[in-house]
C-alpha cells in the first residue's frame, strides 16, 4: 500500500512527533509499503507564520526510502488577513482551513490529490490547515484516513492550552477519521467526552528507541562543557509553555541557596525564550543552554544527568521522560493529567504545578539530596519504559493498525 503522511514539519527537524513518524515511515518501507511525506519547509516553529526564521528548501528528497515533499509557506499579509476573515465564519470546514493557527501552503492539496494514496495519516493538533488538507483529500479520493492528534490538554481548571486543541472544528475533523490513535488513556477519554466516537479511538502511542537514548558518556560531556556538579537536564523545545522559564527561575532559587547544580537545557528555542535568557544570563552562572543535538550528544546528556526536569504543560505523552527512564534517571513533570498517568502511575518521578518555580525548586532540591530516592524512582521508571514504551513494539502496532484500516475499507 501507499501511505501518505501529512504533517507540518519533518526530519531533519527533530521533534518527538517528527522522529516517531520517521521511525514508523521507515518501518512501513521495510514491510514493502510505499511511503510519501507531505510537509512544509518550516524548521523553526515561528517559520509557520513569519519570514526570516529557519526553513528547509522546497524540494523533493528521500530519507531511507521515504519520499519527502516540502512545500513553501505563503507569508503574504493580505492573503492571510483575508483567510482569517473566512475562518471567522461559523462553519467547521472553513474554520479548519483558515482559522488560527492555520497558514497557507500553496500547492499542497493539488499534490495530495495527484498522489495515489491508499491511506492518509494526519496530525498533530492544532495544525488545522495541514490536517484538513489531508482529510479533504482522503474524502475526495475515498481512501481511509488515520489521525494521531497528540492532543495537549494542559492543567485542569485552566483552559489556556486545551482551548487550542479541542475546538469544535478540530473535533469535527477527528470525527471523520477512520481511526484516531491516542498517546494515553487520558487523551482517549477526553476526546470521547468531546464527541469522537469511542469505536474510532485506540491507545497505541509512540515510544523510544532505547539504543539511541542510552550508552552515553557522562565523563565526555562533563569534560567537554566543564561541568563539575549535579546536572538537572531539560531536553527539547525551550519555551514558556514547556516550563523552561519556570525551571530557570527554580534553579535561580537553588543557586541563591548555595546549590552547585548545573542546569543543562538542550534543544531549539522560541525567540521569546531567547529574549528572556538574554536578560537573565548574568543571574545564571551554572546554566548551559545548548542548540538542537544529535543522538550521541543526547546519550551523553542523559548519562550525565542527575535528574531530568520536563515541567511542561503541553505534552501528549512525554518522550523525554521515557528517555530519562531508559537511563534509570528520575523525572520531574508538570502536574497535568497525562503526566500524572505516566509519571505518578509508574512511580518514576514527581509532578509539580506548572509555572510554580518555588515548588519546582523544592522538588529538585529534594531529589538532589536523596540519592536513594533518585535510584528507586529511576529504576521504577526504567522498568515501565522498557516493558511498555519500546519503539519497536509500538511502531509495529501502528503499522498493523494502518494495514487493518486499509483492509477493512477495502471490504466495506
353-377 pLDDT, tens digit per residue, is 999 999 999 999 999 999 999 999 9
| Three-state DSSP class for residue 145 | strand
Distance CA 196, CA 219 (A): 49
The bridge status of strand 119-122 relative to strand 66-71 is unpaired
pLDDT grade for 54, boundaries at 50, 70 and 90: very high
> What integer is the mean pLDDT of 284-305?
96
pLDDT at 82: 87
Model confidence pLDDT, tens digit, residues 332-357: 999 999 999 999 999 999 999 999 99
Percent over 70 (pLDDT), the chain: 100
Nearest to 127 by CA among 167, 156, 67: 167
Phi and psi at 53, nearest 5°, equal -95, 170
Q: Do domains 2-207+391-411 and 210-388 have the same CATH topology?
A: yes
pLDDT at 409: 83
H or E, element range at 95: helix 92-98
pLDDT grade for 279, boundaries at 50, 70 and 90: very high
Distance CA 347, CA 340 (A): 10
DSSP letter at 89 equals S
Nearest to 77 by CA among 44, 110, 104, 42: 104
pLDDT at 296: 96
Nearest to 200 by CA among 136, 147, 278: 147
Domain boundaries, given as residue ranges, for the chain: 2-207+391-411, 210-388
pLDDT grade for 110, boundaries at 50, 70 and 90: very high
Nearest to 365 by CA among 287, 309, 298, 285: 309
Say whether pTM exceeds 0.85.
yes
**Is residue 33 scored above 70 in pLDDT?**
yes
Question: Residue 349, by phi and psi: left (phi above 0), alpha (psi -120 to 50) or beta?
Answer: left
Instruction: List the CATH code of the domain at 2-207+391-411.
Output: 3.40.50.2000
pLDDT at 412: 53
**Is residue 65 scored above 90 in pLDDT?**
yes
pLDDT at 16: 94
> What integer is the mean pLDDT of 253-267?
97
pLDDT grade for 80, boundaries at 50, 70 and 90: confident
Return the bridge partners of 263, or none.
Answer: 232, 287
Tell me how crowded residue 41 is: count the other CB atoms within 10 A of its CB.
18
> What integer is the mean pLDDT of 80-106?
92
CA distances from 79 to 37, 51, 73, 130, 342 (A): 26, 15, 12, 17, 43
Distance CA 408, CA 412 (A): 6
Nearest to 206 by CA among 57, 14, 64, 399: 399
Query: In this structure, which CATH number among 3.40.50.2000, 3.60.15.10, 3.30.70.100, 3.40.1280.10 belongs to the domain 210-388?
Result: 3.40.50.2000
Nearest to 9 by CA among 64, 59, 56, 65: 56
Q: What is the mean pLDDT of the chain?
A: 96
pLDDT at 83: 85
**Is residue 100 scored above 60 in pLDDT?**
yes
pLDDT at 396: 97
pLDDT at 111: 98
Which strand ranges, in their side-by-side order, compose the sheet holding 349-352?
A: 287-290, 262-266, 231-235, 307-310, 331-334, 349-352
pLDDT grade for 84, boundaries at 50, 70 and 90: confident
DSSP code per residue over 243-295: THHHHHHHHHHHHHTT---EEEEES-B-HHHHHHHHHHGGG-TTEEEE----H
Cell output for 379:
529504576
For residue 323, how far is the Cα from the chain centroid?
Answer: 14
Cα Rg of the chain (Å, integer): 21
Task: Show the DSSP H helices in 105-209 as ranges.
Answer: 108-114, 128-141, 168-175, 185-193
> What integer is the mean pLDDT of 207-236?
97
Return the bridge partners of 121, or none.
Answer: 5, 146
pLDDT grade for 81, boundaries at 50, 70 and 90: confident
Return the bridge partners of 245, or none.
Answer: none
For residue 218, how far is the Cα from the chain centroid?
Answer: 26
**Cβ neighbours of residue 13 closer than 8 Å, sequence gap 6 or more:** 42, 43, 56
Model confidence pLDDT, tens digit, residues 130-165: 999 999 999 999 999 999 999 999 998 899 999 999
pLDDT grade for 209, boundaries at 50, 70 and 90: very high
pLDDT grade for 411, boundaries at 50, 70 and 90: low
**Is residue 112 scored above 90 in pLDDT?**
yes
**Is residue 263 scored above 80 in pLDDT?**
yes
Amino acid at each position: 500500500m501507499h501511505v501518505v503522511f501529512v504533517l507540518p514539519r519533518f526530519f531533519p527537524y527533530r521533534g518527538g512527533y517528527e522522529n516517531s513518524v520517521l521511525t514508523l515511515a521507515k518501518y512501513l518501507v521495510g514491510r514493502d509499503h510505499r511511503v510519501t511525506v507531505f510537509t512544509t519547509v518550516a524548521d523553526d516553529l515561528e517559520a509557520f507564520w513569519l519570514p526570516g526564521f529557519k526553513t528547509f528548501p522546497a524540494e523533493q528528497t528521500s530519507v531511507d526510502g521515504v519520499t519527502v515533499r516540502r512545500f513553501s509557506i505563503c507569508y503574504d499579509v493580505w492573503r492571510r488577513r483575508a483567510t482569517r476573515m473566512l475562518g471567522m465564519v461559523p462553519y467547521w470546514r472553513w474554520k479548519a482551513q483558515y482559522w488560527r493557527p492555520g497558514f497557507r501552503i500553496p500547492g499542497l492539496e493539488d499534490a495530495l490529490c495527484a498522489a495515489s494514496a491508499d491511506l492518509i495519516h494526519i496530525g498533530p493538533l492544532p495544525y488545522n490547515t495541514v490536517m484538513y488538507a489531508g482529510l479533504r483529500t482522503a474524502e475526495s479520493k475515498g481512501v481511509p484516513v488515520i489521525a494521531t492528534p497528540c492532543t495537549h490538554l494542559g492543567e485542569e481548571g485552566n483552559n489556556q492550552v486545551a482551548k487550542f486543541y479541542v475546538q469544535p472544528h478540530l473535533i469535527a475533523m477527528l470525527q471523520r477519521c477512520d481511526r484516531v490513535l491516542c498517546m494515553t488513556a487520558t487523551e482517549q477519554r477526553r476526546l470521547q467526552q468531546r464527541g469522537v466516537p469511542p469505536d474510532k479511538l485506540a491507545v497505541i502511542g509512540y515510544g523510544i528507541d532505547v539504543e539511541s537514548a542510552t550508552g552515553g558518556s557522562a565523563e565526555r560531556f562533563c569534560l567537554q562543557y566543564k561541568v563539575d556538579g549535579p546536572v538537572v537536564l531539560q531536553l527539547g523545545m525551550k519555551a514558556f509553555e514547556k516550563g523552561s522559564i519556570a525551571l530557570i527561575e527554580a534553579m535561580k532559587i537553588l543557586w541563591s541557596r548555595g546549590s552547585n547544580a548545573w542546569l543543562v537545557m538542550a534543544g531549539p528555542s522560541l525567540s521569546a525564550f531567547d529574549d528572556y535568557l538574554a536578560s537573565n544570563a548574568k543571574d545564571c552562572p551554572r546554566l548551559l543552554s545548548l542548540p538542537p543535538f544529535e543522538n550521541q550528544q543526547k546519550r551523553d546528556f542523559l548519562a550525565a544527568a542527575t535528574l531530568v526536569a520536563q515541567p511542561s504543560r503541553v505534552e501528549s505523552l512525554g518522550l523525554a521522560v521515557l528517555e530519562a527512564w531508559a537511563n534509570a534517571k528520575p523525572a520531574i513533570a508538570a502536574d497535568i493529567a497525562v503526566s500524572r498517568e505516566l509519571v505518578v502511575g509508574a512511580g518514576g518521578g514527581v509532578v509539580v504545578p506548572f509555572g510554580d518555580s518555588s515548588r519546582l525548586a523544592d522538588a529538585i532540591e529534594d531529589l538532589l539530596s536523596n540519592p536513594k530516592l533518585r535510584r528507586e524512582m529511576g529504576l521504577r521508571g526504567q522498568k515501565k519504559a522498557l516493558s511498555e514504551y519500546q519503539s519497536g513494539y509500538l511502531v509495529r502496532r501502528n503499522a498493523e493498525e494502518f494495514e487493518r484500516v486499509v483492509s477493512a475499507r477495502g471490504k466495506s
